[in-house]
């Protein structure tokens, strides 16, 4: 495992340049999800809705600080979200950590943003049905649990050279990339 970590840390900086439409494709559904989440929670309490959006922004900044700074797409235009560039403008690069470990340790910061609105909505809908809340929740869930993961898997992360390190991707894909990954490492040694 130690050897694997050493290899991971030598993964070269990605030279790919992501088209701007892909950056929008990645960020617009997330933005829509945040707004819907705020509206859903706002049905319970306006201040809680505002708190949700503040937390959502905070969680993204945390992601830039803790995860993107360990990614080989940090400070490159290869990052499909554009986060790699933003992270580099605010935070210094961190070294010598295994990306998969870092990702697993910090990704839970995003969980409340994804799960609190639908859970709260079910509670509110059971208490008293509202078509507005129902539709907002359907839309939120479609973005959060179908569209955003689908965009990642079939477009954004499809050709990422960091797939072997990313717990987000399927095991089958990780095995395929591992072969390329070893080849890349041998080339730079
Ligand atoms: S690929 Fe993911 S972890 Fe890497 S810089 Fe982009 S958003 Fe951050």
Tell me the DSSP string of 64-89.
HHHTGGGSTTTTSTT-TTSHHHHHHH
Cα(85) to centroid of ligand 1, in Å? 9
pLDDT tens-digit profile, the chain (189 residues): 444 444 444 455 666 788 899 999 999 999 999 999 999 999 999 999 999 999 999 999 999 999 999 988 899 988 889 999 999 999 999 876 788 889 989 999 999 999 999 999 999 999 999 999 999 999 999 999 999 999 988 887 877 777 777 776 644 444 444 444 443 433 433
Whether 81 is in the pocket of ligand 1, judged by its Cβ within 6 Å, is yes
> Buried b vs exposed e over 97-115: b needs ≥16 C-beta within 10 Å?
ebbbebbeebeebeeebbe
pLDDT of residue 13: 61
- Sign of the C-alpha dihedral computed for residues 7, 185, 170 and 80 taken in this order: positive
Whether 79 is in the pocket of ligand 1, judged by its Cβ within 6 Å, is yes
pLDDT of residue 95: 76
Whether 99 is in the pocket of ligand 1, judged by its Cβ within 6 Å, is no
Cα(127) to centroid of ligand 1, in Å? 40
Q: If DSSP codes are grouped into helix, strand and coil, which group holds residue 94?
A: coil
CB 4 within 8 A of CB 155: no
Distance CA 74, CA 85 (A): 6
Distance CA 153, CA 169 (A): 7
Distance CA 184, CA 33 (A): 37
Distance CA 59, CA 78 (A): 22
Residue 87: CB atoms within 10 A of its CB come to 26
Among protein residues, the one whose CA lies closest to atom 5 of ligand 1: 84
Cα(41) to centroid of ligand 1, in Å? 28
pLDDT of residue 138: 98
Residue 183 is inside which H or E element, if any?
A: helix 171-188
């Amino acid at each position: 495992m130690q050897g694997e970590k050493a290899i991971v840390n030598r993964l070269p900086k990605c030279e790919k340049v992501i088209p701007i439409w892909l950056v929008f494709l990645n960020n617009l559904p997330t933005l829509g999800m945040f707004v819907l989440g705020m509206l859903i929670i706002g049905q319970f309490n306006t201040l809680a809705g505002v708190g949700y959006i503040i937390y959502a922004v905070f969680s993204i900044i945390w992601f830039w600080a803790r995860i993107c700074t360990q990614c080989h797409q940090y400070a490159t235009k290869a990052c499909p979200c554009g986060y790699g560039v933003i992270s580099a403008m605010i935070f210094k690069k961190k070294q010598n950590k295994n990306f998969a470990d870092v990702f697993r340790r910090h990704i839970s910061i995003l969980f409340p943003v994804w799960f609190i609105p639908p859970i709260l909505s079910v509670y509110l809908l059971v208490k008293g049905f509202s078509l507005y809340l129902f539709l907002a929740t359907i839309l939120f869930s479609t973005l959060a649990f179908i569209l955003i993961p689908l965009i990642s898997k079939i477009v954004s992360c499809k050709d990422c050279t960091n797939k072997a390190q990313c717990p987000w991707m399927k095991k089958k894909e990780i095995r395929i990339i591992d072969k390329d990954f070893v080849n890349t490492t041998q080339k730079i040694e």
